[in-house]
């Protein structure tokens, strides 16, 4: 028997109990919110109950209009909440979500960031089942969901997800999620496959677009990225994210010394890179996680003298400020000394 698609009853995406009676648009024209009248009103008022927010965020992502952190915290509590009792409308905790693979993936999609507790929660499920669940979620076409599935492949499945990650390359490139794809490629694909594909993608960008997309290279921890930096670094307006990329790419003292002696722009990148080897509040999460260190570091006196020479050659406030900071905290710098022979 054929069914008239227009007569199929859909269930509210927020409460998952009542019929859908409203379609409310957001920035994705092909992914509107389909909700009942009560949830639709609370959605417009930025006053969804936590479970309703959770259910919508699990489908659409927490960064969408009417759901994002201007209006809700990470557990779905509305800033304008005026109800007295949540009853059974609280969003699930990680422990509660982890009782079901589907609900655990829902939980991860709603998070602002993921970490070890979320990744460890997948250990109780077979890898094949996890991969199939992630494939199904990514097939919905939602950009945020694709990013989360790639992140989970990188940190939960690794090499077991290689064929699927490889197949997502074109979509990740077209949907502007190269950063998330690169993390999965670095941890799931044999090297240097992911690095080469990422470098191929970056050829399409220049200027600000290149700067915005180049951080995908952070995941590969490869000295080949340093060669790329030497070719593509901007001549002027060198921002500190170039130094971060260098620091996370197996940067060695020999390369730093050559960049300092060669002057701008590479000297600026070298100095910014050295600051990333000193732990400090506000560092990028990837630096805090990976804790890079300067490779083949000479004795601290040699490093100090190189920084003093750099200040003498370039007396700009930026260079003098960074060099003074590095000299003052040189004992705190993460280094890997030259191997003894």
Tens of pLDDT, residues 132-166: 999 999 999 999 999 999 999 999 999 999 999 99
**305 plus 330 within the same structural domain:** yes
Q: Is residue 231 part of a domain?
A: no
**105 plus 67 within the same structural domain:** no
pLDDT reported for residue 337: 78
pLDDT reported for residue 79: 86
**250 plus 207 within the same structural domain:** no
Q: Is 261 exposed, middle or buried (0-12, 13-18, 19+ CB in 10 A)?
A: middle
Q: Is residue 48 part of a domain?
A: yes
Distance CA 259, CA 313 (A): 13
Calculate the average pLDDT of the chain: 93
Q: Is residue 113 part of a domain?
A: yes
**272 plus 173 within the same structural domain:** no
Domain residues for 167?
A: 92-220
Q: Does residue 109 register a pLDDT over 90?
A: yes
Q: Is residue 227 part of a domain?
A: no
Q: Does residue 3 register a pLDDT over 50?
A: no
For the ranges 181-185, 268-272, 296-300, the lowest mean pLDDT is seen at 296-300
Q: What is the mean pLDDT of residues 207-233?
A: 97
Report the chain's terminal Cα–Cα distance, integer Å: 79
**193 plus 299 within the same structural domain:** no
Q: What is the mean pLDDT of residues 114-129?
A: 97
User: Among 170, 186, 220, where does a domain finish?
Assistant: 220
Q: Is residue 83 part of a domain?
A: no
Q: Is residue 193 part of a domain?
A: yes
* pLDDT level of residue 295 (50, 70, 90 thresholds): very high
**196 plus 289 within the same structural domain:** no
Q: Which two tokens stand for residue 4?
A: 């008239």
**212 plus 151 within the same structural domain:** yes
* pLDDT level of residue 80 (50, 70, 90 thresholds): confident
Q: What percent of the chain has pLDDT over 90?
A: 90
Predicted confidence (pLDDT) per residue in 7-30, tens digit = 457 999 999 999 999 999 988 778
Q: What is the mean pLDDT of residues 244-250?
A: 98
Q: Does residue 90 register a pLDDT over 90?
A: yes
**68 plus 97 within the same structural domain:** no
**116 plus 152 within the same structural domain:** yes
> ∠ at Cα 282 (311, 237), nearest 5°?
45
**117 plus 209 within the same structural domain:** yes
User: Among 47, 77, 107, where does a domain finish?
Assistant: 77
pLDDT reported for residue 2: 41
Q: Which residues make Cβ contacts (< 8 Å) with residue 10, sequence separation at least 6? A: 19, 20, 34
**206 plus 104 within the same structural domain:** yes
- CA distances 281 to 16, 56, 276, 278, Å, are 42, 34, 11, 10
Q: Is residue 335 part of a domain?
A: yes
Domain count, the chain: 3
Predicted confidence (pLDDT) per residue in 32-48, tens digit = 999 999 999 999 999 99
Dihedral of alpha carbons 329, 332, 335, 338, sign:
positive
pLDDT reported for residue 339: 64
pLDDT reported for residue 81: 61
User: Among 202, 220, 238, where does a domain finish?
Assistant: 220
pLDDT reported for residue 1: 37
Q: Is residue 226 part of a domain?
A: no
Q: What percent of the chain has pLDDT over 70?
A: 94
**206 plus 167 within the same structural domain:** yes
């Amino acid at each position: 028997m054929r069914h008239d698609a227009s007569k199929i009853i859909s269930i509210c995406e927020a409460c998952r109990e009542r019929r859908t009676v409203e379609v409310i648009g957001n920035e994705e024209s092909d992914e509107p919110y389909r909700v009942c009248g009560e949830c639709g009103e609370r959605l417009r008022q930025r006053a969804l109950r936590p479970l309703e927010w959770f259910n919508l965020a699990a489908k659409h992502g927490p960064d969408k209009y009417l759901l994002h952190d201007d209006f809700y915290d990470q557990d779905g509590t509305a800033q304008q909440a005026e109800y007295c009792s949540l009853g059974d409308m609280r969003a699930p905790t990680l422990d509660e979500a982890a009782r079901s693979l589907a609900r655990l993936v829902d939980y991860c999609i709603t998070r602002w960031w993921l970490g070890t507790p979320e990744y460890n929660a997948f250990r109780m499920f077979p890898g094949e089942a996890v991969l199939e669940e992630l494939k199904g979620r990514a097939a919905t076409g939602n950009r945020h969901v694709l990013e989360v599935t790639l992140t989970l492949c990188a940190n939960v499945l690794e090499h077991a997800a290689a064929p699927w990650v490889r197949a997502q390359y074109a979509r990740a490139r077209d949907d502007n999620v190269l950063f998330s794809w690169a993390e999965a490629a670095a941890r799931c694909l044999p090297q240097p496959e992911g690095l080469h594909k990422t470098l191929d993608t970056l050829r399409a960008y220049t200027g600000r677009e290149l700067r915005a997309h180049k951080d995908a290279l952070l995941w590969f921890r490869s000295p080949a990225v340093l060669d790329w930096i030497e070719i593509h670094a901007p001549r002027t307006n060198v921002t500190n994210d170039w130094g971060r990329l260098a620091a996370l790419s197996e940067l060695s003292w020999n390369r730093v010394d050559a960049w300092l002696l060669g002057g701008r722009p590479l000297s600026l990148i070298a100095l910014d890179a050295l600051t990333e080897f000193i732990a400090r509040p506000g560092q990028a999460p990837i630096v805090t996680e990976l804790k890079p260190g300067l490779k083949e570091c000479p004795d601290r006196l040699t490093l100090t003298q190189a920084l003093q020479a750099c200040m003498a050659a370039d007396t700009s406030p930026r260079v003098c400020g960074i060099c003074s900071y590095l000299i003052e905290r040189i004992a705190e710098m993460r280094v890997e000394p030259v191997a003894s022979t």
